[in-house]
Chains A and B, each alone.
Chain A
Amino acid sequence: MVKAKRKNLSEFAQQKRTQNSKKQLNPFEVHINRDKQNVLGRKNKNDRGLPGVSRAKAINKRKQSLLQEYKLKNKDNVFLDKRIGEKNFDMSTEDKAMARFAMERMKMHKKKNIFNLNDDEVLTHRGQTLEEIEKFDDPKSDDEFSDDENVSGKLDKNFVEEVHFGGGVLSKLDSALSRKDLIDQLITESKKRKAEKQKIREQTIDLTEKLDSEWKDLLPIMSTSKKSAEDDSQTVKADAYDISVRQLIFEARGNPSEKLKSEEEIVEEEKEKLEKLEADRLARMKGFVSDTSNQYKHKSADDLDDGFMVETVVDDTDDINSVINDANNSNEEDSDIDNNEVNDNDINNKNENKSENIAEKDTKSEIEDLNNEDLEIEEMDDEDSEDSFIDLKVSDSSEDEENKAEKRVKFTNNLTTGQTTQTNQLDQTCPKSILKQNNNSTCVQNSFDDRKQEIRNDLLRRKEIMEKARKELPYTYNAPENFEELEKLLKNHNADYQSVIVDRIIKCNHWTLNGKNKEKMSNLFIYLLQHINNCASIENIDLVKCFQIFDRLCPYLYDLAHLNPANTRAYIEEVLKEKYDKFATNKKRYPGTDTLIFFKLVSLLFPTSDFRHPIVTPCLVFMSEILLQARIKKYRSDISKGLFICTLILEYTVLSKRFAPSVINFLRGIIYMATESMQKVKIIPPFKTACKVLVIDKTEVTIDLNGANMFADDLVYEELDDEFKIRVLLTAINLIIEFKNQLQELEAVYSIFQPIHKLLKINKFKNYPQNIRSHIKQLRKDLKLLRSKKLEYIVLEKKRPKPLRTYEPKIMTVYDGKHHKPMSKEKAEKEKLLHKYKREYKGAIREIRRDRDFLTKVQIAQQIKSDADRKRKVIEIFGDAAMQQSELKKMRKKK
């Protein structure tokens, strides 16, 4: 207790002391700022101030800064005394000297490199640093020179003393020589000395050299024993251990990499990648329509839905559509995935095979390989991928072609005949592959057994040709520098050969080999485009050949396009623009096949299902413009071109299910032209009212309903015949069916097809073959069904009622009693800065004003002082003068 009390006492005392040390405020100096509104609990910093004290402080400050500056006004420079301790009167002269010396040493110290760990003072011997001496550059020892002789060839000490300083009283008086003689003597002496020195040096050098050479002669004798041992070791062959050790040392170290993936993982990854790409495509297809429609964002349980979250728009049509799409897509995806799986398996198999080939060079693998191919062929029952894999196959195998091409060819030739029969059997026994089941429901699926057979034969035949081409053509090609070079390479070759050539050009100049190849290959892309263009635009060319070339070049165009998508876009855009400008000069004429072939190329290179695509959309605009504006003049070719474009638009839109009025209109026109009845039916302009060219008389021509009924030649030929007319009608009907299926979900579908339905009702198509008539009848029925489709009124999607707002207490992190406007962080920051700036500005103005006041005060004080001085002086002078006067008067009086 006592202790505690004592402690308290001591604390109290200390407190008191500190309070005492604090300056006691003079109550008269304190000024209290009165508050108008007193807020409880608010602490105010500025409730009291010390105006007098702060003023005095400010004046002091000014005296030190502003006044000094004022004094130095209009002066060019200032004399600053920087001598140490000069102004300090406490220091004695000795102290000053000490301080200065210390400073000097410090300065010396500071200048040194901070990284220099050695002593900063350099030790010398005879004017040379020890370091230099330690190098022993000049191995002449000191004793070469006598003490008297100077080392550096400078004048002798005695001599200097005598001659330079030896005058005056202390000089020897016995010098009888005249000054001139003395100097001459001096010169001769020094010259002589120099010559001697030189001579001696040369001698030493000679001697040293001699010694060195003798030493060299001796050296071999000394080292013989050592050397012989080394020779022996060299001749002994390096043993295996050493070699392996060395190999291990120099072997390139493998970089740490991820775990090797198993096959399943690779397949899985591949699948995921494709799925992702497909999902992307679907998203793009929908454009911005329903990017929010099918994915609900996560919402917390207590979300108030008070506008703080983007509302998800729920559109029932969209939902329906998306559901439908999803359904379709899931189908598609499934098939896709399967496809890929199959594909991947193949690839893996092939890879294995290849490795076996390399390792064992066994013919067995070849057989296996072929078996694989046959299996593939079976799996390719899907009509969409009729001949898709063979090329892949070929391109794969082409990698090891260089060493084994000949062998392979032999084997294939031998084996093909046997294999084909086998395949056929296999085909019949297990005709349905996985893909078959997954076929899209929209496709008109029929069995194409005989066609498949045909295709298979065709493929095998093509394979043969390819192999032959491989054998015949040179293996390496340089990348063509210009179009003419490429043309020279490709000229006089058929499509397969051309594809092999292009393949080899790409292989030989692959962009992974060399940085420059990338550019070359992009040029090759242009040249190939030009090549295709030339093929298609030459008059009277065999279009089939042109399409064959195009067909074979497609994969390579795809590869090259993927090399640099941006460039590809630019090139295709150029081509499109060119074609469009050509078309725009006369919009009434159908463009040539060269234009049409590029439309097909676009569908191969770019995803046509995108909602908006920088290449595909202009293509669609172009195509619909052709269909709407070009007039059918050369009947056969123009009608064919129109149908070609219609088919292409169908292809473009088959995934996205878009609606193209121009196509419907064109197909309507085709039906119209085949309608003989002369009832009053209106037709829209690109077609003329009296144009009935497709009406036929009775014929016996029969045509398969589901075949590919249009031919490349139709795009060129002019004259019409009944067979063509029937084919056109059939194709038009088929296309209408396709479009009908595509647009079925739209409410306005009957309105779209109504004109066609009307035409079909009028026309009896008596002269057409029975099967076509029934086909048309079926379509008519379908269209009629569309008419009685139940329609639902359009209803705007109901807005979800907004929940009532619940008012929560507004929580502020820091309550300062002020009302803050709700604003963004940046804006708040800006406001704050602005506020600060304003305050600073005001403060600066105030400071300046006070500075001015201060200066005027100083000036006035000066003025007053000088005035007073003057007055005082005047008075003094007057006083003196009066004194003098009085003295003078006194003097006079005295006189």
Chain B
Amino acid sequence: MTDAAGLPGATTGQRAMSRLLRQRAQEFLASRKHANNLVDIIGHWDDASLKKNLTLFHSQESTCLCLLTIETIFVEVLKRGDMYLEHSITLIISEPSPESRYITWLRNCYEEVWKKILASMEKCKSTIQLQALTTAIKLLAEEGKASLEPRDQTGYYFPLQRLKPILMTLLSPEKDNTNLILRFQEITEYPDALYYTWKCLPSLTPKRQPQEIYIKNLLELIDKIPLPKEGEESKVSDNKELLCGPQDATFTWDQSAVKRALNKVWGCVMHWELTPQLHKQLLLVLLERVMPHLEKPILLTDFLMDSLDVDGPVGVLALQGVFVLVTKHNLEYPNIFTKLYSMFEPEIFHTKYKARLFYLSDLFLSSTHLPEALVAAFAKRLARLTLVAPPEDILIILLFVGNLLLRHPGLKRLIDHPQGGEVASGAGDPFLMEERDPLLSNALLSSLWEIRALQWHILPSIASAARFIREPLPSVEYDMASALERTGGHLFDRELKNKVREIMLTFERPNSMALSKGEKLLQYWQLTSTH
């Protein structure tokens, strides 16, 4: 097997090798006579991983093969309990029996293999990494079922000493392990694995500032491993499928311990410095996963307040956090509406989080006890934004404004002024777009002329949606949720799908590119002649 070996030759070589490895494994498992086969296989693995005389492709292949072989061997060995060693505290230092020497040797080999597996999880290519992780997990499961040593305590046994290195490699500070974490997520289906993973995590979280990639991996891991909500833990503990089961001792799910572990981890995490990217991820994980389990979410206030001041998605996410605090934990934050108000800038339409923002602000403004001036300012500002917004957002905003008008009957003056007539305060719109404070923006002195302008929007769907201000408002709120899910592409398709009976054509025959009426293109463009 040299570098010059072609691919087909190589594959046949591979096949031969796999057959050889399988045969050796069989022999090894069949009788102890062939104990040295194990050494051979491990040696082979060394060769492969060191790429001594193999091409990259071959080394990968053979590493993979070796992993599989090792896996079959040790799963079998563990099942048989060949490595079980009785702790007999003998006072006499006697010559160890061949039996015990064999076991010791086997265990050494086993430890070595573990090291190699972990190493290949770190360094090799992603397929090998995944294979190594699976192998590791399988071995871990087998070891959990039949431990290597007699146990003193009678509780549920889980090979923590194996899980920890795995987690350590997953949380590597050097490289992004998203793939592996995704695979690892699979075993967290088992309650015992999940439980012990959580138990391990605090010890793996450093107090001091760690590497950036480590933080990323950790956040990824926390995001992926599920944490049952209050009241749902019984569902988890009812799950009888255990990774290392069945054992004599029953496994019990300890919700409070897990929560404690999470809090401990998060306590550390909150002290770290974050890049904007990580900040966003952290907020996401915090909101989606961690927040409901924290013991004192109020402690997050400062963090969220700081985050609120950051522009863009971080601000929106922080807003969501603050919202949870305000609604569930009695946080009082007087300027929250000013903050929210300032978030509605034209730039918001080009961020990914606009749907979230609309959703949140809809929630925030759902209270009917808000001052009218405040809500009016929101409505007016949103209406102002429609003048620059993309079509799909205009539709959302129209629904939103409609809902605001519905909730606050006082806002009717925006579309139906009680006195009517001309605007008193001099000329122009009395609304102040630049004013930061919604209460000072004079919104109540204005009318929603912007929506009337939208009645002339080029898209018929928007133009007809904007007509709602001409009719009496409905009694039920508009459904915003479905509108939030839509994207821009649907408008085009929907308009194309619009079936009509008759297709209208122009009735004036053009004699050139110019329209006979209202030609504008040729007024500004010289297209048919060179200048």
Contact = CB atoms under 8 A, between A and B. Distances in A.
B510 interface: yes
A544 B530 contact: yes
Given A552-B512, A708-B522, A746-B453, A284 B420 contact: no
B417 A795 contact: yes
A843 interface: no
A584 B489 contact: yes
Contacts of A604: 506, 510, 513, 515
Classify chain B's interface size. 35 or more
Contacts, number: 294
B454 A791 contact: no
Interface string B378-397: 00000010111111001000
Residue from B433, B447, B492 whose CB has the most chain A CB atoms within 10 Å: B492
A746 B456 contact: yes
A796 interface: yes
Determine the main DSSP class of B at the interface with A.
Answer: loop
Interface in B410-445: 414-417, 419-423, 426-429, 433
A565 B505 contact: yes
Interface in B481-531: 488-489, 491-492, 495-496, 498-500, 502-507, 509-531
Contacts of A749: 453
Interface string A740-751: 000100111111
Contact of A555 (B384, B414, B512): B512
Contacts of A791: 422-423, 427-429, 447, 449
Interface stretch (B33-41, B57-65, B147-155, B458-466): B458-466
Contact of A710 (B419, B496, B525): B525
A624 B390 CA distance: 8
Nearest to B449: A747
Interface residues of A, number: 121
B302 to A, nearest CB: 29
A384 B515 contact: yes
Given A547-B527, A612-B460, A621-B495, A554 B350 contact: no
Interface in A626-662: 628-629, 643-644, 647-655, 657-662
Given A651-B519, A653-B458, A659-B454, A550 B513 contact: yes
A794 B452 contact: yes
Contact of A284 (B426, B489, B504, B516): B504
A425 to B, nearest CB: 26
B521 A648 contact: yes
B17 to A, nearest CB: 45
Interface string B207-222: 0000000000000000
Contact of B495 (A277, A614, A651, A738): A614
B287 interface: no
A662 B512 contact: no
Contacts of B233: none
Nearest to A384: B519
Interface in A417-454: none
A682 B346 contact: yes
Contacts of A390: 511
A284 B512 CA distance: 25
Interface stretch (A250-258, A506-514, A566-574, A829-837): A566-574
Contact of A751 (B384, B489, B514): B384
A612 B461 CA distance: 9
Interface in A718-754: 731, 734-735, 738, 743, 746-752, 754
Contacts of B416: 794-796
B347 interface: yes
A1 to B, nearest CB: 84
A787 B505 contact: no
Interface of A: 274, 277, 281, 284, 287-289, 315, 317, 332, 336, 339, 383-392, 458, 543-544, 547-548, 550-552, 554-555, 558-559, 561-562, 565-566, 568-569, 573, 576-577, 580, 584, 600, 603-607, 610-615, 617-618, 620-622, 624-625, 628-629, 643-644, 647-655, 657-662, 664-665, 682, 684-686, 707-713, 731, 734-735, 738, 743, 746-752, 754-755, 787-797
17 contacts: A287-B460, A385-B514, A389-B511, A552-B512, A603-B515, A606-B506, A611-B460, A659-B453, A659-B456, A660-B458, A708-B522, A711-B527, A747-B447, A787-B427, A794-B415, A794-B416, A795-B417
The 7 A-B pairs of least Cβ separation, nearest first, read: A793-B417, A747-B449, A788-B427, A685-B350, A612-B460, A796-B416, A391-B511
